[in-house]
Amino acid sequence: MITAEDLAARVSKYNPKSNSAMIIAAHEYSKNKHHGQLRKSGEPYFSHPLAVAIILSEQKLDDASIITALLHDTIEDTGSTKQEISNNFSPEIAKLVDGVTKLTKMQLSSTETKEAENIRKLLMAIAQDMRVILVKLADRLHNMRTIRSMATEKQAQKARETMDIFAPLAGRMGMQSIREDLEDLSFKVLNPEGRASIMRRFITLQKETGDVVDRITGDMNEELRTAGIGAKVIGRAKKPYSIWRKMQEKGLAFSRLSDIYGFRIIAINEADCYRILGIIHRRWRAVPGRFKDYISQPKSNGYRSIHTTVSGRDGKRVEVQIRTQQMHDVAESGVAAHWSYRDGVRSENPFTVDPYDWIKSLIEQFDAEEDHDAFLEAVKLEMYTDKVFCFTPKGDVIKLPKGATPIDFAYAIHTRIGNRCVGAKVDGLRVPLWTRLRNGQSIEVITAQGQNPQVTWLEMAETGKAKTAIRRALREADKQKHIVMGQELARAAFEHVGKKATDKALSTAAKKMRIPNKDELLARLGSAELRSRDVVHSVYPELASDQQPLVDSRRAVIGLAPGQSFNRSPCCQALPGERIIGIAAHGQGVAVHTIDCEVLVKYESKPDLWLDLHWHSGKHAAVYPVTLDVTISNDAGVLGRICTLIGEQLANISDLEFVERNPDFYRLNMNVDLRDIEQLHAVTTVLEAEGQVAAVARLRRGQASVSEP
């Protein structure tokens, strides 16, 4: 355990003006207060706050942050008071320690507390002083490093909380090194077999190929020396969790994963960054579509860097990031760089953003959101999103999350623009409102007086800001009409289970569903934001589970004109629960497609044929066939087990065709009758878990169900 003088010396090394005497005093104060206390591991408890202080010293933070780290558990665990800390140190430090104490007491992932309300409080605490969350992140990092001394259930709970809240929060604030460490430590707890498997494959790969990182680093250094450019090359293998996530996202095995190595080149200035990019692309072949320039278009958290992927030695892909030292400091430390020191003075890094902007905007954005689930969804969307950059007709840059639509763009400009949106042009061409935007596109929003948001916009919107504004507008518009409709829906639903929709029953339902009052519940029920069976289930869970009537399959789709019929196109075999689009054909009814069906490309120039449809929200019968492409091992009894697994999910196999027979594997197409997308997920999940199933996928046939108009 390092001494007080050692810690003070560490801080003085990057900040010669630091108050070493106060750091030493805080060290001794905390050590005395925690005397006799032990951690679960049996170590002296003081080793923990000391370790947190060391982590923050590695980030080169100010004295107040270091001292807060040393004292952060004294109020909670030793009987020390905020006033005592204020008297002994300073009011600023007392306020920081008190803020960290309040964060520690929040059970962010507890099922016994309101998770959304606690996260709202978390954001409010951060808005008071960002250093509170910096200390808390360092505290969580050290706790995750020593988590093995905790009970198994507690480990899983803390790891899940870290993965869901603290790691993405660190990432959103630009603290990439801490985010990666938190993710990987959580991954080690939540999926130890998966992490161990990746580590074993890494070891095998290194034995087969040697030290790829050293070889490519040497090649890059040689190219830079030849060009007369001074720069530092840092190479590394990516973290196990980062590799595992990429395997899951791309559906690839480890052996097929390409860019598992990353290289950072730290240049002297911005001009050299672009010169180095040219050298890298001349020496190695660039991978198309894998270039991003975050120097000219920085991320909202201040991140700047050039990203490119090239084919290195033996055709292996490697990712290269090129940035200056100042950009690198922000990339690694994020908002912490705002308080860090370099060369003995407070860092005046030109690339750091105001560390409070995002938190304040988030709080203001959702302050009026009364729905706890909606607030929680919106916060997590904001923490996890990557960004795309689009332009207004005047050339202003609008930053949006990946997957955003013109609706998100309209609300990003102003809520009034979003509410009045009737259409959009992307690069001069009219597009549907559900179109996913891409980097660099120019967006023109078309508005009209009297236009109001539609319920279907909630499925199209990606940003929390847009979803919140749409929900608010939907609730305010024709609220009384929705209340009347909701009363009728509630009456019918309660009568169906032999009960009455009394004021008391509805008020009870509102309370259990965390809705402010009975009228608000009825308004949401009437506007189709809630399902009547869910309201009944909240009051009488034993009666409402499976007793609602089945939706008539002839009326399963909402949005058709009177007398209009529909059929599910075999190209995508849409299921209830999926977003759908209708294509009208002369005399042939309406063909229903999923929103991502490739066949829809044929109709981009015929917008008058498009119909905005959605499935009935009730319970559907299992009458919708879906074709599964299944590969199984050629062993006795395997096909029987597959059929049994599907039957256990209450699904029926209506047809089966062998499309390929090999000595070791069979490939077959199975038509399975399903009720909705959730049942499809249940079926594919149990099949994927079966050891004799090599692959299972939903088959897309690529042909339209109606002739082209």
How many CA atoms does the CB half-sphere of 640 hold within 13 Å? 3
Give pLDDT, residue 704: 38
Query: Which of 333 and 244 is assigned the larger pLDDT?
Result: 244
pTM for the predicted model, two decimal places: 0.53
Predicted confidence (pLDDT) at residue 504 exceeds the cutoff of 50: yes
User: Average pLDDT, stretch 608-634?
Assistant: 88
Predicted confidence (pLDDT) at residue 161 exceeds the cutoff of 90: no
Give pLDDT, residue 266: 95
Give pLDDT, residue 691: 79
Give pLDDT, residue 332: 77
How far is the C-alpha of 508 from the C-alpha of 502, rounded, in Å?
10
In this prediction, residue 602 has a pLDDT band, given cuts at 50, 70 and 90, of confident
User: Average pLDDT, stretch 489-497?
Assistant: 81
Joined together, the tokens standing for residue 301 give 């958290």
Query: Which of 301 and 329 is assigned the larger pLDDT?
Result: 329
User: Average pLDDT, stretch 460-481?
Assistant: 80
Percent of the chain with pLDDT over 70: 83
In this prediction, residue 113 has a pLDDT band, given cuts at 50, 70 and 90, of very low
Give pLDDT, residue 65: 92
In this prediction, residue 708 has a pLDDT band, given cuts at 50, 70 and 90, of very low
Paired strand residues for 423: 446
Joined together, the tokens standing for residue 591 give 């063909």
User: Average pLDDT, stretch 515-519?
Assistant: 89
Active site residues: 76-77
* pLDDT tens per residue, range 67-103: 999 999 999 888 889 999 999 999 999 999 988 887 7
User: Average pLDDT, stretch 6-24?
Assistant: 91
Predicted confidence (pLDDT) at residue 705 exceeds the cutoff of 50: no
Predicted confidence (pLDDT) at residue 249 exceeds the cutoff of 80: no
Are residues 340 and 333 in contact, defined by beta-carbon separation less than 8 angstroms?
yes
In this prediction, residue 116 has a pLDDT band, given cuts at 50, 70 and 90, of low
How far is the C-alpha of 447 from the C-alpha of 515, rounded, in Å?
32
H helix count then E strand count, the chain: 30, 24
Predicted confidence (pLDDT) at residue 158 exceeds the cutoff of 70: yes
Determine which of 51-65, 371-385, 497-511 has the lowest per-residue pLDDT on average.
371-385
Give me the amino acid identity at 543. L
User: Average pLDDT, stretch 490-502?
Assistant: 83
Predicted confidence (pLDDT) at residue 314 exceeds the cutoff of 90: no
Determine which of 27-41, 265-279, 280-294 has the lowest per-residue pLDDT on average.
280-294
How far is the C-alpha of 291 from the C-alpha of 277, rounded, in Å?
10
In this prediction, residue 291 has a pLDDT band, given cuts at 50, 70 and 90, of confident
How far is the C-alpha of 37 from the C-alpha of 187, rounded, in Å?
30
The whole-chain average pLDDT of the chain stands at: 82
Predicted confidence (pLDDT) at residue 376 exceeds the cutoff of 60: no
190 burial level (CB within 10 Å; 0-12, 13-18, 19+):
middle
Cα dihedral angle (315, 321, 325, 327), rounded to 10 degrees? 180
Query: Which of 156 and 382 is assigned the larger pLDDT?
Result: 156
Give pLDDT, residue 358: 59
Joined together, the tokens standing for residue 692 give 């004799």
* pLDDT tens per residue, range 419-458: 999 889 998 888 888 888 887 788 999 998 878 888 888 8
Give pLDDT, residue 706: 34
Give pLDDT, residue 23: 94
User: Average pLDDT, stretch 665-677?
Assistant: 90
CA 401 to mean position of chain CA atoms: 10
Predicted confidence (pLDDT) at residue 370 exceeds the cutoff of 70: no
* pLDDT tens per residue, range 622-663: 889 999 999 998 887 888 888 888 887 888 888 888 888 877
User: Average pLDDT, stretch 553-579?
Assistant: 87
Sheet of 580-584: strand order equals 557-558, 610-615, 580-584, 590-594, 566-568
Give pLDDT, residue 224: 94
User: Average pLDDT, stretch 45-54?
Assistant: 94
Domains in the chain, CATH or no CATH each: 4-190 (1.10.3210.10), 194-346 (3.30.460.10), 357-476 (3.10.20.30), 479-548 (no CATH), 562-709 (3.30.70.260)
Determine which of 329-333, 642-646, 674-678, 690-694 has the lowest per-residue pLDDT on average.
329-333
